[in-house]
Amino acid sequence: MTKPTSKKLSLAFVSLSIFIVLLLSLSLSSAITAKVGNSRMVLRYEAGDIQEKHIRVINDNNETITIEFIAQGNLSDQVFFAEPSFNLSAQEEKKAPFTITSDKPGAYTTKILVKFVPSEGEGNGIILPSTVVSVVSESETSGKSYLIPAIIIAILIATLIYSKKKKRGARRAHVF
């Protein structure tokens, strides 16, 4: 029996290394992919209005995945999801509705994080952000809310004063 030479050992080591790398790359290639249809939206609305929008979520994988939503940023406490999490079958897409509002005028940035998680719990998930920029203007009725009642009160007061003057004038006419 002949002793292995250093060339044969090197070749065996390189072959084993290539095999291990290929084996690892196959396991890494089974990671999930993620797509969000609208990664940025700009909304313009008045303070107090409720905006109903959606995020398009796409599952290009060959397995069912779980989708979860997390709101972060200025209006995170004013974002409400119709379904905070749901399962999405292989090769399926869904429009996930949500609402957002603000009571105060201003410009706000809110990130909605869309988390893609393998349903079997194997492997890592992926998080993609969808940025929502809200440009909130002052409500048109906010500055005028007291104007109409004030006009009505002024008309009533003017009517009362006019009717009292008319009654006084009518009494004076009877006195003579």
Question: Domain for residue 155, yes or no?
Answer: no
Tokens of 161: 């004063």
Helices and strands counted in the chain (H then E)? 2, 9
DSSP-H helix ranges across 4-53: 6-28
The total number of structural domains that make up the chain: 1
Q: How far apart are the first and last CA of the chain?
A: 151
Q: Which of 115, 103, 39 is nearest to 77 (CA)?
A: 103
Is 74 within the bounds of a domain? yes
The pLDDT of residue 151 is: 83
The pLDDT tens digits of the residues spanning 1-52 come to: 566 677 777 777 767 677 676 656 555 545 788 899 888 999 999 999 999 9
Q: How far apart are the C-alpha atoms of 95 and 61, rounded to whole Å?
A: 17
CATH code where residue 89 lies: 2.60.40.10
Q: How far apart are CA 170 and CA 168, in angstroms?
A: 5
Output 143 or 156, whichever has higher pLDDT.
156
Q: How far apart are CA 24 and CA 126, in angstroms?
A: 20
- Supply the range of the domain harboring residue 92: 29-137
Q: What is the dihedral of CA 37, 41, 44, 45, to 10 degrees?
A: 60
Joined tokens for residue 132 = 């929502």
Asked if the structure places residue 14 within a domain, the reply is: no
- Identify whether 9 is part of a domain: no
pLDDT of 57-68, one tens digit each? Answer: 999 988 999 999
Distance CA 36, CA 43 (A): 18
Quote the pLDDT of residue 23. 58
- Domain assignment present for 58: yes
- Contacts of residue 144, defined as CB under 8 A and 6 or more positions apart, other chains included, come to none
